[in-house]
Amino acid sequence: MEFKISSKAKSFTVVLMLLGVIGICLGVWIEFSCHGGEHFQTRFLGNLLVDSFFFFAIGLGALYFLALQYATETGWYASIKRVIEGVAGYLPYGIGLMLVTLLTLSLMKGGGIYVWMDNAHVEHDPILVKKSAYLNQVFFWIRTLAYMGVYFIFWRGFKMRSLEEDRVGGTAIHFTNYKKGALFLVFFAVFSSTSAWDWIMSIDAHWFSTLFGWYVFAGMWCSTMIVLVTLTLYLKKQGYLNKVNENHIHDLGKWTFATSFLWSYLWFSQFMLIWYANIPEEVTYHLTRIEDFKGLYFGMFFINFAFPMLLLMSRDAKRHAGVLTVVGVIIFAGHWVDAYLMVMGGSMGKHAYIGALEIGMALLFLGFFIRIILTNLTKAPLMPVNHPFLDESIHHEI
Binding part of the chain for other proteins, among 15-23, 123-131, 267-275, 323-331 by CB under 8 A, reads 267-275
Q: Is 271 in the site for other proteins (CB under 8 A)?
A: yes
Binding part of the chain for other proteins, among 8-16, 164-172, 282-290, 309-317 by CB under 8 A, reads 309-317
Binding part of the chain for other proteins, among 30-38, 163-171, 187-195, 312-320 by CB under 8 A, reads 312-320
Binding part of the chain for other proteins, among 47-55, 75-83, 106-114, 313-321 by CB under 8 A, reads 313-321
Q: DSSP letter for 386, please.
A: S
Q: Site map for other proteins, 339-368, x if CB under 8 A?
A: ------------------------------
The number of C-alpha atoms within 13 Å of 354 and in the hemisphere containing its C-beta is 16
Q: How far is the CB of 315 from other proteins (least distance, A)?
A: 7
Q: Is 397 in the site for other proteins (CB under 8 A)?
A: yes
**174 CB-near residues (< 8 Å, 6+ apart):** 165, 387, 388
Q: Site map for other proteins, 89-128, x if CB under 8 A?
A: ----------------------------------------
Q: Is 290 in the site for other proteins (CB under 8 A)?
A: no
Q: Is 315 in the site for other proteins (CB under 8 A)?
A: yes
- The residue (of 159 and 318) whose beta carbon lies closer to other proteins is 318
Q: How far is CA 289 from the centre of its chain?
A: 21
The answer to whether 309 and 260 have CB atoms below 8 angstroms apart is yes
Binding part of the chain for other proteins, among 252-260, 310-318, 324-332, 338-346 by CB under 8 A, reads 310-318
Q: Is 11 in the site for other proteins (CB under 8 A)?
A: no
- The residue (of 315 and 351) whose beta carbon lies closer to other proteins is 315
Q: Is 294 in the site for other proteins (CB under 8 A)?
A: no
The answer to whether 342 and 203 have CB atoms below 8 angstroms apart is yes
Other C-beta atoms closer than 10 Å to the C-beta of 350 total 10
Q: Is 268 in the site for other proteins (CB under 8 A)?
A: yes
d(C-alpha 289, C-alpha 340), whole Å: 11
Other C-beta atoms closer than 10 Å to the C-beta of 252 total 26
DSSP track, 192-237: HHHHHHHHTGGGSTT---TTHHHHHHHHHHHHHHHHHHHHHHHHHH
Distances 130 to 29, 122, 280, 339 between C-alpha atoms, Å: 41, 10, 18, 28
The answer to whether 259 and 222 have CB atoms below 8 angstroms apart is yes
Binding part of the chain for other proteins, among 122-130, 140-148, 311-319, 334-342 by CB under 8 A, reads 311-319
Tell me which amino acid residue 326 is: V
The correct pick among 100, 313, 329, 385 for binding other proteins (CB under 8 A) is: 313
Q: How far is the CB of 270 from other proteins (least distance, A)?
A: 12
The answer to whether 220 and 58 have CB atoms below 8 angstroms apart is yes
Other C-beta atoms closer than 10 Å to the C-beta of 376 total 20
Question: Would you tell me which residues interact with other proteins (CB under 8 A)?
Answer: 268, 271-272, 275-278, 313-315, 397
